[in-house]
């Protein structure tokens, strides 16, 4: 699933996501719909996502509750791990934590600067991918 602001790809039990640009409510709603469509294909068993955030430049405040509701849905539908990939950026971390700061002890979120570290962490937790791990 592709748009100019994101791509989604399923690889085994991992949803590989690239996000780009600034997000408004419209983009967040479309992404949420595409994310849930993909998540439904994985929700029969535990699944994870790995999200590349380096090209994302924040969201408007109105997009935050849309993405938060989507992530709550994901947790309720067997998503247990999220690997966030981006170079350390305090404002990005702040907004991402506001959007999704899970209190669920069965849900794990980690941030990595290098995609290979994120893929390794997911593999250690039972979420390996089959195709080339690092995609542009």
- Whether 133 shows a pLDDT value over 70: the answer reads no
Q: What's residue 134's pLDDT?
A: 39
pLDDT tens for 53-98 read 999 887 888 998 999 999 999 999 999 999 999 998 777 777 677 6
Domain borders along the chain are 2-124
| Mean pLDDT, range 1-27, rounded to an integer | 90
d(CA 109, CA 93): 12
CATH 3.55.30.10 fits 2-124, yes or no: no
Q: What's residue 93's pLDDT?
A: 72
Q: What's residue 89's pLDDT?
A: 76
- What is the pTM assigned to this prediction? 0.86
pLDDT tens for 20-48 read 999 999 999 999 999 999 999 999 999 99
| Mean pLDDT, range 9-18, rounded to an integer | 95
| Residue 17 confidence class, pLDDT cut points 50, 70, 90 | very high
- Whether 135 shows a pLDDT value over 80: the answer reads no
- Whether 118 shows a pLDDT value over 90: the answer reads yes
């Amino acid at each position: 699933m592709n748009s100019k602001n994101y791509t989604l790809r399923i690889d085994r039990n991992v949803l590989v996501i690239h996000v780009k640009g600034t997000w408004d409510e419209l983009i967040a709603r479309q992404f949420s719909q595409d994310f849930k469509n993909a998540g439904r294909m994985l929700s029969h068993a535990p699944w994870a996502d790995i999200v590349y955030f380096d090209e994302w430049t924040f969201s408007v405040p109105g997009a935050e509750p849309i993405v938060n509701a989507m992530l709550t849905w994901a947790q309720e539908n067997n998503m247990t791990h999220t690997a966030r990939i981006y170079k350390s950026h305090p404002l990005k971390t702040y907004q991402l934590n506001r959007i999704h700061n899970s209190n669920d002890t069965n849900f794990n979120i980690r941030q990595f600067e290098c995609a290979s570290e994120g893929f390794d962490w997911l593999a250690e937790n039972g979420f390996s991918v089959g195709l080339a791990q690092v995609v542009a």
